[in-house]
C-alpha cells in the first residue's frame, strides 16, 4: 500500500497503449492497492495504471462522496461493449493538476471487465452519470487517449493548459467526434451550474 507518483501530462508513456493482464498475481493485487491509495490521496474519482507508470490494462474508480458512500470498483482488461447518447462533460484529470475543460462523452456505456479477484462482471451505466463519464475517461488512459483529445474547444483548452503550466493540446491526437457533437447540438443540456 503506497501512494505513487502520478505522471503529468507531457510524459510520453501516457500516450502508450497498455498491455492486457494475464494473471491476477500478487504484483497486480499490490498495483490495485497502490491505485486506490494514490487516487484517494489526490482526491480523484478514478485512476488508471498508466498514470502511475504501469503499462497495464487496469483502472479503479470510486465516485462515492464521503467514507459512508464509498463504492470502489476495480476494472481489469475492460472492454466497452455498448455506447449511446452524447453529453458535454466538464472534466479534469489527476495528470493535469487543476486543469478542466469541456469534452464530449457518451451518455451511457456498458463495460465488461474482471474484478480484483479475476471474476468477470458487466456494468451498464446510463444518464451521463459521473460513473459513466469516469469509466470512459479511465478506459481512454489504457489506449493512450487523454481527456483533452475529446475537447470541444481546442483554443479554450490550450488557454487553460497554458495557465496551469502544461503543454498545449497536441493536434494530432484530437478526436473529431462529429456524431457526438451533432447529437450535443441537437439536444443542448443545461450547464452544470444550472442543474
Q: What is the pLDDT of residue 79?
A: 98
Residue 132 counted as domain residue = yes
Q: Can you give the CATH number for the domain in which 156 is found?
A: 3.90.45.10
Query: Is 168 within a domain?
Result: yes
Q: Is 118 inside any structural domain?
A: yes
The predicted pLDDT at position 190 comes to 59
Per residue in 49-63, pLDDT (tens digit) is 999 999 999 999 999
Give the model's confidence band at 194: pLDDT under 50 very low, under 70 low, under 90 confident, else very high. Answer: very low
Classify burial at 11, counting beta carbons within 10 Å of its beta carbon; exposed 0-12, middle 13-18, buried 19 or more: middle
How far apart are the C-alpha atoms of 29 and 22, rounded to whole Å?
13
Task: Please identify which residue in the block is written with the cell numbers 462522496.
Answer: 65
Per-residue pLDDT, averaged over 8-14, amounts to 97
Distance CA 33, CA 168 (A): 32
Q: 68 pLDDT band (50/70/90 cuts)?
A: confident
Is 150 within a domain? yes
Q: Tell me if 111 sits within 8 A of 78, measured CB to CB.
A: yes
Tell me, yes or no, whether 191 lies in a domain. no
Closest CA to 60 of 142, 154, 176: 142
The predicted structure's pLDDT at residue 70: 79
Asked if residue 5 is part of any domain, the answer here is no
Whether the per-residue pLDDT at 189 is higher than 50: the answer is: yes
Q: Tell me how many domains the chain contains.
A: 1
Answer whether residue 3 is part of any domain: no
Indicate which residue of 54, 91, 116, 138 is catalytic. 138
In-domain check, residue 193: no
Residue 195 has pLDDT above 70, yes or no: no
pLDDT of residue 64: 86
Indicate the pairing of strand 46-48 with strand 96-105: unpaired
Q: Can you give the pLDDT at residue 191?
A: 52
- The model's pLDDT over 134-175, given as tens digits with 9 standing for 90+, comes to 999 999 999 999 999 999 999 999 999 999 999 999 999 999
Q: Is 84 a catalytic residue?
A: no
Q: Which domain holds residue 110?
A: 12-186
Per-residue pLDDT of 94-132, as tens digits, reads 999 999 999 999 999 999 999 999 999 999 999 999 999
**What confidence tens digit (pLDDT) does each residue in 80-93 have?**
999 999 999 999 99
Residues in the chain: 195
What pTM does this model have? 0.94
3-state helix, strand, coil split of the chain in percent (to 5) is 35, 25, 40
Q: Which three cell numbers stand for residue 12?
A: 510520453
Amino acid at each position: 500500500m503506497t501512494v505513487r507518483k502520478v505522471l503529468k501530462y507531457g510524459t510520453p508513456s501516457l500516450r502508450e497503449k497498455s498491455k492486457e493482464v494475464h494473471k491476477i498475481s500478487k504484483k497486480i493485487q499490490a498495483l490495485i492497492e497502490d491505485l486506490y491509495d494514490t487516487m484517494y490521496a489526490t482526491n480523484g474519482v478514478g485512476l488508471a495504471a498508466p498514470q502511475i507508470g504501469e503499462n497495464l490494462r487496469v483502472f479503479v474508480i470510486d465516485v462515492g462522496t464521503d467514507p459512508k458512500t464509498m463504492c470502489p470498483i476495480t476494472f481489469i482488461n475492460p472492454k466497452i461493449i455498448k455506447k449511446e447518447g452524447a453529453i458535454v462533460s466538464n472534466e479534469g484529470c489527476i495528470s493535469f493538476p487543476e486543469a478542466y475543460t469541456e469534452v464530449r462523452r457518451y451518455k451511457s456505456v456498458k463495460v465488461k471487465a474482471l474484478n480484483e479477484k479475476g471474476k468477470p462482471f458487466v456494468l451498464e451505466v446510463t444518464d451521463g452519470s459521473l460513473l459513466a463519464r469516469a469509466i470512459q475517461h479511465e478506459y481512454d488512459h489504457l489506449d493512450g487517449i487523454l481527456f483533452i483529445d475529446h475537447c470541444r474547444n481546442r483554443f479554450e483548452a490550450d488557454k487553460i493548459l497554458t495557465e496551469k503550466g502544461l503543454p498545449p493540446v497536441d493536434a494530432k491526437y484530437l478526436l473529431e467526434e462529429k456524431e457526438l457533437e451533432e447529437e450535443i447540438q441537437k439536444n443542448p443540456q443545461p450547464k452544470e451550474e444550472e442543474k
